[in-house]
Each structure stands twice: as C-alpha cells, then as structure tokens.
Structure 1
C-alpha cells in the first residue's frame, strides 16, 4: 500500500510539472510578442536574511539561493534571453567572518563543479560560462574549477552566463584603465579613448544589461556594473532572493516592454 501511494504521488507530481511547464511556455509565447531584453543582470540579495527568517542553519540560505538561481536561469533561457549576469561574490564580501567566507567558498566550489555534470543546466541550454572578477583573490581550488568550466564551455554559443565573483565595479574599471595604458605604451600612443577602456572591461563579452534586478527591495547597486548600467532599467522586488520566482521575472519584463520605446529613443540620442 505504501509503495502504491508513493508511486501515485510521483505520478501526480509529474503531471503537475507537465501542466506547469505547458502553462509557462504559453505565457512565454505571449510575452515574446513584445520586445525582449537581451541581457538581464541579478543582484542576489537576501540569502542570509532568508535563512534567519526561516530559522535555518548557516549556509542554508545560500543553498536555497542557488536553487532559485537555477530556476531563474531556466526561465530566462526558455524565454530567449541571450545573456544573464549574476553577482555571486563581491570583493567586499572577503571582509566577512573567515568561517563564513570559507563556507561560501566551499559551496561555490561545489556548485561550480556541478556545472560540468552532464545533467546540468549548462549542457541542457548550451551555455557559455564566464567568470568575471579578480580571480586571483580566489583559492587555488575555486579558481581552477572556474577556469575548467570556462574552458569546457568555450565552444558553446547559444546563451551566456556571466558569474561575477571576487568582483566589484571599481576594480573592473581600474584594471581596464591599467590594461589600456599598457596597450598604449606598447604601441607608442599617448591618448586613451573611451573605446579603449570599454574594450578592456571584463564585461565587454556581453552587451550592457537591459534590466538589473535586485531582490529584497534594496535599490543600491553595491558597486555592481556601475559602468554598464547607465541605461538599464532597475527592478527591486521585495522578495528575498530564495523567494524570487517566475512572477517577478515576468513583471520586470512587462515593465521593460512598457517603456522600451522611450529607452530606445534615449539610446539613439546618445549615439
């Protein structure tokens, strides 16, 4: 009897998943009738507050946050969004308690390695993964795993995932200026142009984000993509990151579509 009930529950869950998937595809088809963003960026804020709110042990909030990220990536790529950028770990986060940083690095190592699994979302959608940031600040193991994933996905071209780790925007800008100076000196050229800096930005592998979503209702950029978000739409749902879901993504895209023509006209004037 117990086995029969368990089998029945599995069957019901499969039917519900099929219905949910069909409904989502129908919704995406309707949304796709309007202009879609090419690039979405996420500040995944609220993992620790979620754990405290749910009375969970340390680290559980970040694990729940990773599950939310996988769902959000699935929605984005199903919808046809070409690039997704996530703020995974700031340079400033290294100032947290050593035990918390070690725990986050261990979790990051585990999740980075999981991207190489045959069943991972990377293989399902043909994702090219970029790790953006000062990777020299990472442990040898985490850095090696990140480089392995980037090399393993280098031939993928359907969609891109940019993971900002050991990153902040001021560091990216400083490094880009330094590289521009070195290049100019090598070529015996004196003047640095705007285009020189832009070409040396790590984020130059993708167009600027159309939408920046920060969970938890926070409206600060927290030193994230300061150079690239001058014309991006900002969306700040009150949900903590592990609570974020399809409805938040849909609402952000509908707002983008509503004001798309205005932003396009503004971009043309700036050109």
Structure 2
C-alpha cells in the first residue's frame, strides 16, 4: 500500500523509489521484530489530532491537512497490523465537529466516505491484512447518502477475521455510554435481563466483544481525552501516550518506539523513560518526560505495583 496511491501521484523519482523501498524494508523488519515479542497490545485507540494545525503550519488548505492526516493513519495502521495488533479504534469525527463551519463539515464527510471506500478496495489495507472495517457512533446523524456509501464499503469486509478497524464517526465517549445505558434500560423493561451493572454496560458498548483497550495514543501535545473511549480507558493497565507531534507528522517509526515501550513495560514491569515524544500516563502513574521532579515518587509507585503488573504480564505476554 503506497503513499502515492493515496495522493494520486503518477510520476516517480528513481531515488525516491529506492529510499522508499529501503524504508519499507526497515519498517517490515521493525514490525516483525515487534510481533515476535508476543506482547503486542491487542487493542489500540488513536485520537488523531493536529490536522488543522498541520495545514496552518505548512500554509495549506484545511482539507489538505485532513488528507495528510489520512495518509499518516494508513501508514500507522499498516505497521500495527503487521506487528500483530488485533484491533484499532480511530477517532475520525467527533459529534462536536458538527459545530464547525458547514464547508469543513462537508469536507470531512466527503473525505470519510471516500477513504472508507478506498481502504476497502482490492489490494488496500482491509484486503491486505484481512481487516474487518466497522463504523461506530451515532449513525443517525449521518445523511442517508453518506450512510449508504459507508455501509456498502463496510459490507465488503464483514467476513475478514484477522483484525478489526473501528472508525468512530460521528462519535463521543459520552454518547457511547448513553447508548449503552439506553439499551440496558430497554432490555430490562423487555425482561431480557434482570439488572443493570458494569458487565451489562460493557456488553452494550460499541466495542463489546472486542479485546480490551490496552494502549491509547493522542497526538498534538494536548493532554486530554477529548471525549474518546471514556469507559474503556478506565480499565486497569491501559497505557496512555500523549505525544507532542501533530498527527500528519506522526511516523511509523515513532509508533514502533511506542510499541517497544509498551512491550518493555509489560515484560519488565516498569516504564522506559528515555524519550521526549510526550507524556505517558498509566493508571495512577503519570510521567512528563521533560520533568524530573516527580521521578522518585513515580519510581516508588512503580515498585509498589510491580507485583501486580508482573501478574498481568504473565497473562498478556505469553
């Protein structure tokens, strides 16, 4: 799957082809090495933030920033699936985005419908890696035309079993929790269940029956979740990476390093702390890589939790 295909480029520079081939070999080697660890996260969530700032920084139109963001997403997902990740969930369009200008909303809708179709075409990401594509969120907010086109594209992948791509469009974590509660109430009133508890709420989330979220990545330097997977991220052991890089600038090699950090932490029982990509948050432990004042406190917390972490490692890294 080439970047030129996404850009619609026809010409080719031999030196660029050679460089691209070398980088692909390196990326494939990294992916295979990560996969061999048997400790890759089964489910990764992405808050793909920074497309508009990227466009402004590079004197581009906003729609070009979103296009660049899609190219980055395709490359990151390709590495994830090569490395053995089973499920990825991407925050493609927030319900709050309907508050943007009508022209930008239309651009995002057109981009989404075109790109969902594209990744499900022959020879693209879904076919190459056996990915089942799901669009999740409040689909009632989509126009019938957009919904029909997306549904047709998703239908093509329904028999794929190797991996799953959840495209949150349009979505917020609060709406997902509301959806689950509403469904639980209806099932209780219809006597299909006799109680509402944490298990029944989990069962009716959009991500039910998929591996639990284990790693969440948010780009652009913001240290907040922006209403994404609020329920799932509260699970013990979820690792969160806040990265000080705009989404279109986020590379597969940076992604590979984050996966290495995850593998190291799950295998050894403590974080790897020698990179300045951003802030890492895990449970009750928060580390800002540019700050050293809290290192001793964090190390004490890590030591206190090592036994519990190692118990989980026995299950997740075998």
Following TM superposition, by how much is the alpha carbon of 1:193 offset from its aligned partner in structure 2, in angstroms?
A: 2.1
Following TM superposition, by how much is the alpha carbon of 1:26 offset from its aligned partner in structure 2, in angstroms?
A: 2.3
- Indicate how the Cα distance of structure 1 residues 83 and 220 shifts in structure 2: closer, same or farther if over 3 A, else same: same
CA–CA distance in 2 between the matches of 1:264 and 1:63?
45
Structure 2 residue 259 is matched with structure 1 residue 253: yes
CA-based RMSD = 2.1
Q: Report if aligned partners of 1:109, 1:142 keep a CA contact under 8 Å in 2.
A: yes
Residue 170 (structure 1) aligns with: 174
Following TM superposition, by how much is the alpha carbon of 1:120 offset from its aligned partner in structure 2, in angstroms?
A: 1.9
Following TM superposition, by how much is the alpha carbon of 1:226 offset from its aligned partner in structure 2, in angstroms?
A: 0.6
Q: Report if aligned partners of 2:87, 2:163 keep a CA contact under 8 Å in 1.
A: yes
Q: Report if aligned partners of 2:50, 2:246 keep a CA contact under 8 Å in 1.
A: yes
Within the candidate set 84, 87, 92, 1:88 is matched to 92
Within the candidate set 13, 17, 20, 2:23 is matched to 20
User: Which structure features the higher share of helix residues?
Assistant: 1
Structure 2, unaligned runs of 5 or more: 1-11, 270-305, 313-318
Superposition TM-score, scaled by structure 1 size: 0.89
Q: Per the alignment, in what secondary structure is the counterpart of residue 162 of structure 1?
A: strand
Following TM superposition, by how much is the alpha carbon of 1:267 offset from its aligned partner in structure 2, in angstroms?
A: 9.8
Q: Per the alignment, in what secondary structure is the counterpart of residue 118 of structure 1?
A: coil
Q: Report if aligned partners of 2:48, 2:218 keep a CA contact under 8 Å in 1.
A: yes
Within the candidate set 200, 206, 211, 1:202 is matched to 206
Following TM superposition, by how much is the alpha carbon of 1:138 offset from its aligned partner in structure 2, in angstroms?
A: 1.0
Greater Cα offset, 37-46 or 229-238: 229-238
CA–CA distance in 1 between the matches of 2:310 and 2:139?
33
Higher relative contact order (CA 8 A, sep 6+): 1
Following TM superposition, by how much is the alpha carbon of 1:74 offset from its aligned partner in structure 2, in angstroms?
A: 0.8
Residues 39-72 of structure 1, C-alpha deviation per residue, up to 9 Å, x if partnerless? 1111000000000000002311000000001111
Pairing 1:111-150 to 2, within 5 Å after superposition: 111-150=115-154
Following TM superposition, by how much is the alpha carbon of 1:268 offset from its aligned partner in structure 2, in angstroms?
A: 6.3
Greater Cα offset, 230-239 or 189-198: 189-198
Following TM superposition, by how much is the alpha carbon of 1:194 offset from its aligned partner in structure 2, in angstroms?
A: 1.7
Pairing 1:38-187 to 2, within 5 Å after superposition: 38-187=42-191
Following TM superposition, by how much is the alpha carbon of 1:149 offset from its aligned partner in structure 2, in angstroms?
A: 2.3
Runs of 4+ deviating beyond 6 Å: none
Following TM superposition, by how much is the alpha carbon of 1:182 offset from its aligned partner in structure 2, in angstroms?
A: 1.1
Q: Report if aligned partners of 1:208, 1:229 keep a CA contact under 8 Å in 2.
A: no
Residue 265 (structure 1) aligns with: 308
- Indicate how the Cα distance of structure 1 residues 188 and 207 shifts in structure 2: closer, same or farther if over 3 A, else same: closer
Greater Cα offset, 70-79 or 247-256: 247-256
CA–CA distance in 1 between the matches of 2:310 and 2:94?
29
CA–CA distance in 1 between the matches of 2:50 and 2:123?
28
| Count of aligned pairs between the two proteins | 261
Following TM superposition, by how much is the alpha carbon of 1:192 offset from its aligned partner in structure 2, in angstroms?
A: 1.2
Structure 1, unaligned runs of 5 or more: 1-8
Structure 2 residue 285 is matched with structure 1 residue 242: no
- Indicate how the Cα distance of structure 1 residues 165 and 264 shifts in structure 2: closer, same or farther if over 3 A, else same: farther
- Indicate how the Cα distance of structure 1 residues 264 and 29 shifts in structure 2: closer, same or farther if over 3 A, else same: farther
Superposition TM-score, scaled by structure 2 size: 0.77
